[in-house]
Amino acid sequence: MKSELEQWVAAAFDRGGPLSRADPGYSPREPQLLMSQAVARAMARREALVVEAGTGVGKTFAYLVPALLSGGRALISTATKSLQDQLFLRDLPRLCEALQTPTRIALLKGRSSYLCLHRMKHARHSAELPDRRAVMLLARVEQWAQQTVSGDLAEMEGLDERSPIIPIVSSTRDNCLGSDCPEFRACHVVKARREAMDADVVVVNHHLFFADMALRDSGVAELLPGVDVAVFDEAHQLPEAGVQFLGTLLGTAQLLDFARDVLAQGLSEARGLQDWQGLHAGLERAARELRLVCAGSMKEVRGILKLRWQERAGKPGFAQALGEVARMADLAVEMLATVNEISPDFVRLHERAQQLAEQARHFAQAPEAGDVRWIDLSPHQARLVESPLDIRDAMQEQLAGPPKAWIFTSATLGDDERLSWFTEPAGLDSARVLRVGSPFDYPAHARLYIPRGFPKPSEPDHPLEVAAMAARCARALGGRTFVLTTTLRALQSIGDALREEFERGFDAIKVLVQGAAPKRLLLQQFMADPRAVLVGSASFWEGIDVPGDDLQCVLIDKLPFPPPSDPLVEARVQRLEAAGRNAFAEFFIAEAAIALKQGGGRLIRSETDRGLLIVCDPRMAGMNYGRRLRQALPPMTQLASEDEALDWLRLLAAERA
């Protein structure tokens, strides 16, 4: 017997229902109806549901329609701020209007996304602004501050989220003064949280959810007990987001931020009372020494490297560097204690100094049993990280709370019937599971080619052969090609080789390489110029939507197995093997299957899209696990030779001409 909510949802999606009346192009899709009914059932029964929904199912509406029609309170969590904005600014308003539901919706981001009025006013008179460009950016922020209602920095036209002005004019949990702040009554973060508490539907992100679980700092903790349904879209990113936030962290950037704040506050409000510049220099020196000892003999670092804890912790100089951080933090505690009464800023700085000293001493001790410890090294900082291996315990604690429906959905959650790649580490063993296939006609519209005679990824000429294959495809198609690489080293090699190949052949095909410009700008350039090849690594494997003829060929350089030297990977493998399980089958192949589905999913984004996917790794054709990986992909028609692949691309190019 269907619940009342299931019947309302079925009527909403039916022909002649509110969705079709609001959109003349709407037509019911069987996979979307299946998913929406399962979501409505889980909500009516307050159960946990995990749904893998293929590309084109329309999963956003499949969970939003039941959430809105239920009349209950809903928390929607997405993977990124841009997806949050899409839900809040586009999808929810459209659906509320179509369904005629008087729903109050709110958007809640982390505090660093909002303008901090106190820090903005302080910045003009502090020593924080690094150069003239920062001074000009601050002037723009001050002008915008007079007209913004939300204080969401994403509203500011042309402000890159990596801009150095953002940490200066926003707050963190470390430097926020809370109710002691002179601007507390006008605070944008407080206002956003108040609106969230009053709303029927609140849109957050995974980082915010876990940051709150660990630190009780984002307002989600107050929201969660009162909602009837919690929905996690792009749920495949949930385990890694959780691991980042559920552990302990000490970063050199954190030390430098503290040093900068101490100097700015000391010189503006307590000049001459302590040697603030000496303290600032000592903290900077301690941060620099810690990063140097973490980097070891590495001269250049690209991206983020995960280093084994043992590789550095046992080396000469590491314990001394960590001890110097603790010593400088202790000195800061002493100096700040003498000026605590001057302003709340000094009280907060004093607390931060104590936390830094505690964290330094924590990492000087052995890690907790069951936790893994490693070092993240990037071009500008080192981070010492200790974390649980997965989010299982944290999620089960949440699931044991006040009864509600829990919905987890993504296009990629596993390659078996129980979706165990996701459900096991997320503690969702008893959740109801549903797999809904894509409505797209993959056999007719998509081709898969795996070159059997290709060099193995371990052979030195593999990247050059990938570039040569990509060049032949781009020439046949006239551009419109993505090359997805598994490493930053391959990214550079393939990008350089492609440029040389096109220059040698006088081809008017542009090569765009990740890192040359911000991701959004590279995508805009790719879509504006059809005669282009875009070479991207990790961040281009998912969340990229290029529908239509702009993208018709995707090459993947090799099978995306996780790096065995990654400390988290090592620890997870050891745990599986200790339990007598097959780590290669249960972990490495499962991880590769998920990543392949994500990367291959860039190709077909709408019902009319057509294209070719090439996996330049003969292991996918020849090894016994290749079949499992092929089955993880949508049912594309497989081609036997490169000639067939190039003929397919020439056909697509001719149809477009």
- Taking only the tens place, the pLDDT of each residue in 314-360 is 888 999 999 999 999 999 999 999 999 998 889 999 999 999 999 99
Q: Which of 58-67, 221-230, 384-393 has the highest mean pLDDT?
A: 58-67
- In the structure, what pLDDT confidence band is assigned to residue 219 with cuts at 50, 70 and 90? low
> Per-residue pLDDT averaged across 614-622, rounded?
95
Cβ–Cβ contacts within 10 Å for residue 299, how many?
Answer: 5
Please report, for residues 221, 368, 370, 536, the alpha-carbon distance to residue 388 in angstroms, rounded to integers and kept in the order given: 21, 9, 7, 30
pTM of this prediction?
A: 0.91
pLDDT for the residue 220: 67
Give the chain's length: 657
Nearest in space to 291 (alpha carbons), one of 322, 316, 315: 322
At 175, list the tokens: 């430097």
Share of the chain above pLDDT 90, in %: 68
- In the structure, what pLDDT confidence band is assigned to residue 147 with cuts at 50, 70 and 90? very high
- In the structure, what pLDDT confidence band is assigned to residue 545 with cuts at 50, 70 and 90? confident
CB 177 within 8 A of CB 345: yes
> Residue 578: exposed, middle, or buried by beta-carbon count in 10 A (0-12, 13-18, 19+)?
exposed
Cβ–Cβ contacts within 10 Å for residue 648, how many?
Answer: 23
pLDDT for the residue 497: 95
Lowest mean pLDDT among 54-63, 280-289, 299-308, 615-624: 299-308
Terminal Cα distance for the chain, rounded: 54
> Per-residue pLDDT averaged across 98-114, rounded?
92
Tens digit of each residue's pLDDT (9 = 90 or more) over 509-543: 999 999 888 888 899 999 998 899 999 998 888 88
- Count Cβ neighbours within 10 Å for each residue of 605-615 and write b for 16 or more, e otherwise: beeebbbbbbb
Q: What is the mean pLDDT of the chain?
A: 91
pLDDT for the residue 432: 97
- Residue 627 confidence (pLDDT) above 90: yes
Nearest in space to 413 (alpha carbons), one of 221, 182, 233: 233
CB 649 within 8 A of CB 553: yes
Tens digit of each residue's pLDDT (9 = 90 or more) over 388-442: 888 998 899 889 888 999 999 999 999 899 999 999 999 999 999 999 999 999 9
- Residue 161 confidence (pLDDT) above 80: no
pLDDT for the residue 128: 62
CB 112 within 8 A of CB 148: no
> Per-residue pLDDT averaged across 114-137, rounded?
80
Please report, for residues 43, 309, 394, the alpha-carbon distance to residue 253 in angstroms, rounded to integers and kept in the order given: 43, 19, 27
Q: What is the DSSP string of 474-537?
A: HHHHTS-EEEE-SSHHHHHHHHHHHHHHHHHTT---EEEETTSS-HHHHHHHHHH-SSEEEEE-
> Per-residue pLDDT averaged across 636-657, rounded?
94
Nearest in space to 534 (alpha carbons), one of 504, 495, 560: 495
Domains and CATH numbers, the chain: 4-104+199-242+391-436 (3.40.50.300), 111-188 (no CATH), 247-388 (1.20.120), 442-656 (3.40.50.300)
- Residue 127 confidence (pLDDT) above 60: no
> Per-residue pLDDT averaged across 564-576, rounded?
92
- Residue 158 confidence (pLDDT) above 80: no
CA distance 431 to 26: 32
Tens digit of each residue's pLDDT (9 = 90 or more) over 471-488: 999 999 999 999 999 998
Nearest in space to 380 (alpha carbons), one of 245, 487, 244, 252: 252
pLDDT for the residue 221: 67
CB 415 within 8 A of CB 631: yes
pLDDT for the residue 342: 92
Tens digit of each residue's pLDDT (9 = 90 or more) over 268-310: 888 889 999 999 999 999 999 999 999 887 877 777 888 999 8
Query: 3-class SS at 543?
Result: coil
- In the structure, what pLDDT confidence band is assigned to residue 217 with cuts at 50, 70 and 90? low
Pairing of strands 481-484, 553-556: parallel
CA distance 551 to 561: 25
pLDDT for the residue 434: 97
pLDDT for the residue 499: 95
What secondary structure letter does DSSP report for 47? -
- Residue 591 confidence (pLDDT) above 60: yes
